[in-house]
A = this chain, B = another copy of it.
Amino acid sequence: MKKPNIAILGATGVVGREILKIMDELKVEYKSLKLLSSAKSAGTELKFQGESYIVEEAVPESFDGINIVIASAGGTTSKKFAPEIVKRGGVLIDNSSAFRMEPDVPLVIAYVNDEDLKKHKGIIANPNCSTSQLMLVLKPLHEKAKIKRLIVSTYQSVSGAGLAAINELTADTKANLAGEGFKNVCFKKPISFNVIPQIDSFCENGYTKEEMKVTNETKKILHLDASTPISCTAVRVPVYRGHSEAVDIEFENEITPDEARNILGNAFGVKVIDNPEDYEYPTTRDAANQDPVFVGRIRKNIAFKNGLSLWCVGDNLRIGAALNTVRICKKITEMNLF
């Protein structure tokens, strides 16, 4: 197996640091490793596997000789450097939404649609966090009973909005408990002890971009018909880390809760915690810093003929971002796709 020269673009960010942690955990093999960031963060020293790395400012020439770039530096940066990476023969694994819906770009959850990786033309997109955790759960159920309709309501933590949002939850909560005023900046509404029904900006149809990502990315990853009815309501809750989702699924064919529990019990990257009588079900905090997507509350949905309802929880920084990009990096190395 050929070992790649790897660069991490956006290495100093919340997700970038998580990527490094996971590269270590998953024992990613590489020939060389380069850490890149904006001019602002360049010069930062980061430790990795006992070695010290000085983060460099990303410029086109940074990608000379690089085989795989894992990028988590926002859509603008990805768009700027993608052609530079590709023309130098590198493969970009991009965590932004910039390329996800482009027909030429595989949108991949490792172990869900790995075959799509083979079609890449230099760019591979990592799905949105709320989609990602759902795919590991839905794929094996879809294989068994075929998804006909999907309704998702999310309970998303603030870490998806970055470090400043994490700090705002803390500061706002402290002020609230002390009976002091607080001026929210990251969030458009106070986040402490509150629930905000908006993530990302609004589309023409009244859904937010976050909600439409769940709709459109799910169809692309699971190869569903474009007309498959999927609706999502994406909501921010005052939680630091982990996204939860209430999921209502209508299937073409019958599938019982016991069958679903069995299937998910054997599925890659999924852990079933589902014994409600003993209060065994996943809460959001259970997922923090964990790899699996946790699933519970599996029951026959009483509003659909062949329906299931379930509750799924994942770490939005890991399975929702860093973990899947690193898994893709391993896959394209193993599959010799760089």
Seen from chain A, the residues whose Cβ lies within 8 Å of a Cβ on chain B are 149-151, 153, 155, 169-170, 173-174, 177, 188-190, 193-198, 202, 205-207, 215, 229-231, 233, 235, 237-240, 244, 246, 248, 257, 276-277, 279, 281-285, 296-304, 307, 309, 311
B194 touches A233 (CB 8 A): no
Do A276 and B231 contact each other (CB < 8 Å), given the known contacts A297-B206, A303-B151?
A: no
Q: B153, B169, B257: which contacts A153 (Cβ < 8 A)?
A: B153
Of the candidates B170, B177, B302, the one whose C-beta lies within 8 Å of that of A229 is B302
Contact of A195 among B169, B239, B257, B297 (CB under 8 A): B239
Q: Are B246 and A153 in contact (CB under 8 A)?
A: yes
- Nearest residue, chain B, Cβ from A240: B193
Distance between Cα atoms of A174 and B285 in the complex (Å): 16
Whether B193 pairs with A276 at a CB distance below 8 angstroms is no
Residues of B contacting A151 with CB < 8 Å?
A: 151, 248, 303
- A301 to chain B: which residues have CB within 8 Å? 231
Q: In the complex, are the beta carbons of B206 and A299 less than 8 A apart?
A: yes
Contact at B150–A303, with CB atoms within 8 Å?
Answer: yes
CA distance A195 to B231 in the complex (A): 22
When all copies of this chain in the complex are counted, the total is 2
A sample of 23 inter-chain contacts (CB < 8 A) reads A149-B303, A153-B153, A153-B246, A155-B155, A155-B235, A189-B279, A190-B283, A190-B285, A193-B238, A194-B239, A194-B283, A197-B281, A197-B296, A202-B277, A206-B276, A206-B299, A230-B302, A231-B248, A231-B302, A231-B303, A231-B304, A235-B246, A238-B238
CB–CB B233/A195 < 8 A: no
In the bound complex, CA of A276 to CA of B207 (Å): 10
Tell me the bound Cα distance from A300 to B203 in angstroms.
12
Contact of A193 among B194, B206, B257, B285 (CB under 8 A): B285
The interface residues of chain B lying within 8 Å CB-to-CB of A279 are 188-189, 198
**Pairwise interchain contact B195-A284, C-beta atoms closer than 8 A:** yes
Q: A231-B303, A235-B246, A302-B207 are in contact. Are A276 and B195 (CB under 8 A)?
A: no
Bound-complex Cα distance A196 to B283 (A): 5
State A190–B282 Cα separation when bound (angstroms): 12
Least distance between A292 CB and chain B CB atoms (Å): 17
- Among B173, B197, B230, B282, the residue within 8 A (CB) of A283 is B197
Q: A170: shortest Cβ distance to chain B, in Å?
A: 7
When distances are taken between beta carbons in the complex, the residues of chain B under 8 Å from A173 are 173, 177
What residues of chain B lie closer than 8 Å to A177, measured between beta carbons? Answer: 170, 173-174, 177
Pair B239/A297 contact, Cβ less than 8 Å: no
How far, in angstroms, from A174 to B248 measured CA to CA in the complex?
35
- Known A248-B151, A279-B189: A229·B195 in contact at CB below 8 Å: no
The residues of B that contact A244 with a CB separation of less than 8 Å are 195, 197, 235
